[in-house]
Chain A
Amino acid sequence: MSLRYKTAIVGAAETSQLGVIPDMSETQLHVDAAINAMRDAGIDASQIDGISATMNPATLAHYLGIVPDWVDNTSVGGTSFLIHMRHAAAAIASGLATTVLCCMGQSGRSRVGVSAPRIGTAAGPSGPSYDVSYPGQFESIYGPLGPTTLFGMGVLRYMKETGTTIEQLASVAVAQRRWSSKVPRAMFRQLVTVEEVLASRMICYPYRLFMCCPVTDGGGAFILTSAERVDDYPTKPVYILGSGEAVETPVVSQMYDMTSSAAFKASSSKAFAEAGVTHADIDHVQIYDAFVHLPIYGLEDLGFVGRGEAGAFIEEGNTSPGGRLPLNTNGGGLSYTHTGMYGMFAMQESVRQVRGEAAHQVEGVRTSFCQGVGGMFMAAGSLIFTNEAPHG
């Protein structure tokens, strides 16, 4: 079964506030985004019959006073929300649900209503010392401290094999500030230079501060329904044209190839095949960027450029405003916001661009490719969105 043109997003919204939200729990962030998305779609909660979230969907269902008969709680890191969207599209296409609320909220910075330890700090009392997992036995003993010390583990290898320079890696952060400079809700809006990126504080060589995302609070939600019902809603429909998902390994040092993501390749090729479009048909791209190497791996693994070409491609301005492949136009996780699980925000920007409502809008966007990553190349989700109505 193909999901091409079976469903459309008819409601989309983020939390009312974004960045630092010390007065909202994670549940409340979900609800705030969900209600904003329902209002955007002109519906109320009684019309929702499916919920997806990485938190317990029952908590949200009961908060909203509904008894949905379809749920998805897939939790494979920050790309989970792209995968939820794909699963929801399949559920709607097969008649298991009619109107699904895909939502997300995370108090990544303020840690309100969160029991798990913050990424990058020491684990709690049941943490690594009793952890018999692979990372617990064979990695935590060597002193990593969250994704900052692990996600970029393949980068020096990638640089050696491809000739990519540290300046090219820094240029990812530079390009994305050019976008976020005109995005009022972005966490960081000041333009930066390669020299400034490379002069920022060393965090974990080769990564300096500006090559890493911030940690923020926020959330987002979508209302997804059948493409046949789009006329019932006031919003400009955004159709799902193609979708993909894949998982590789929870352990970055055991990737099949540390200089390329097998999950990115599997997920994105599935989305392209389902959509029946080529790279030349894509007007806008979002690639989940917790760190600067992600857009580089992404552009190559998705096939937008050849092996080893992404660094120069970004450095030369091709992904910057005015370039031929606008990428991470909200500023990305590096500049817009990154609550810990950024995939929802990558999708929100794809949808805004396709609707023509983005803060830093690209002229004439018809299609957007959104690529998510979960864990540290553990999982991938891909979605291709379009505003063009199905023909015939």
Chain B
Amino acid sequence: MTEQEYRKPIPHPSPETEFFWRKAGQHELWIQRCIDCGEPFFYPRLHCPDPGCMSDRIEWFRASGRGTLYTYMINHRPAPGFEADAPYAIAVIQLEEGPRMMGNIVGIENTPENLALDMPLKVTFTDATDDIAIPNWEPA
């Protein structure tokens, strides 16, 4: 990206998510897993989301950054800050590690023809401020 102003919404980290955003700012995708039951999960939490576990023994690890296109919609009525992108895909990415997360698809025109479900994607980061970068996805 050139040095133009980032006009899209910028996330405001909370105590649970501060580490995620700090690593994203360094262009690294980190998610969590439960030390007791081993399950990786996203979004960031302080406890294992398995109702039979509830462990607070949680660790962060760096995700591979590989995933697949799980599903998406293509928005023709842009949200504020997205006018130049419309129509643009709002996608859900299935991470290689298991959890799903939302993202935009960059580096390819966002058309139904170009966006086949289950196509391989890799994470890329869009700088929003000096500290915050947004995880996005491009064809792998």
Instruction: Report if A67 contacts B (CB, 8 A).
Output: no
> CB-CB contacts of B73-97 with A at 8 A, as 1s and 0s?
1111111111001011011100000
Q: Do residues A137 and B100 form an inter-chain contact, with CB atoms below 8 A?
A: no
Most buried by B among A143, A203, A253: A143
A-B contacts, CB under 8 A, total? 110
Q: Please measure, in the bound complex, the distance between the C-alpha atom of A156 and the C-alpha atom of B10, giving whole angstroms.
A: 28
Instruction: Report if B134 contacts A (CB, 8 A).
Output: yes
Q: B70's closest neighbor in chain A, by CB?
A: A157
> CB-CB contacts of B1-28 with A at 8 A, as 1s and 0s?
0000000111111100100010000000
Q: Please measure, in the bound complex, the distance between the C-alpha atom of A138 and the C-alpha atom of B74, giving whole angstroms.
A: 18
Residues of chain A within 8 A (CB-CB) of B117 are 156-157, 160
Most buried by B among A138, A150, A207, A251: A138
Instruction: Report if B112 contacts A (CB, 8 A).
Output: yes
Beta-carbon contacts under 8 Å, A54-108 to B: none
Q: Do residues A136 and B12 form an inter-chain contact, with CB atoms below 8 A?
A: yes
Most buried by B among A148, A156, A203: A156
Q: B17's closest neighbor in chain A, by CB?
A: A137
Instruction: Report if B55 contacts A (CB, 8 A).
Output: no
Residues of chain A within 8 A (CB-CB) of B12 are 129-132, 136-137
Instruction: Pick from A129, A137, A156, A254: contact of B72, CB below 8 A.
Output: A156
Interface range on chain A: under 10, 10 to 19, 20 to 34, or 35 or more?
35 or more
Instruction: Pick from B17, B71, B78, B80: contact of A153, CB below 8 A.
Output: B71
Q: Please measure, in the bound complex, the distance between the C-alpha atom of A140 and the C-alpha atom of B9, giving whole angstroms.
A: 7
> CB-CB contacts of B48-65 with A at 8 A, as 1s and 0s?
000000000000000000
Residues of chain A within 8 A (CB-CB) of B103 are 142
Most buried by B among A141, A148, A206, A254: A141
Instruction: Pick from B11, B78, B92: contact of A141, CB below 8 A.
Output: B11
Instruction: Pick from A130, A148, A157, A254: contact of B71, CB below 8 A.
Output: A157
Residues of chain A within 8 A (CB-CB) of B71 are 153-157, 258
Query: How many residues does chain B have at the interface if contact means C-beta atoms less than 8 Å apart?
Result: 37
Instruction: Report if A152 contacts B (CB, 8 A).
Output: yes
Q: Do residues B92 and A205 form an inter-chain contact, with CB atoms below 8 A?
A: no
Q: Do residues B73 and A153 form an inter-chain contact, with CB atoms below 8 A?
A: yes
Q: A152's closest neighbor in chain B, by CB?
A: B73
Q: Do residues B101 and A137 form an inter-chain contact, with CB atoms below 8 A?
A: no
Instruction: Report if B46 contacts A (CB, 8 A).
Output: no
Residues of chain A within 8 A (CB-CB) of B73 are 149-150, 152-153, 155-156, 204-207
Instruction: Report if A122 contacts B (CB, 8 A).
Output: yes
Q: Do residues B74 and A204 form an inter-chain contact, with CB atoms below 8 A?
A: yes
Beta-carbon contacts under 8 Å, A176-220 to B: 202-207
Q: Do residues B72 and A143 form an inter-chain contact, with CB atoms below 8 A?
A: no
Which A residues form the contact surface with B (CB < 8 A)? 120, 122, 128-132, 134, 136-145, 148-150, 152-157, 160, 202-207, 251, 253-254, 258
Across the A-B interface, give the 9 residue pairs with the lowest CB-CB distance, nearest first.
A205-B74, A157-B71, A143-B82, A132-B14, A143-B79, A137-B11, A145-B79, A253-B92, A204-B73
Apart from A132-B17, A141-B11, what are 11 other A-B pairs with CB-CB below 8 Å? A129-B12, A132-B13, A137-B12, A142-B104, A143-B75, A149-B77, A156-B117, A157-B70, A253-B100, A258-B70, A258-B71
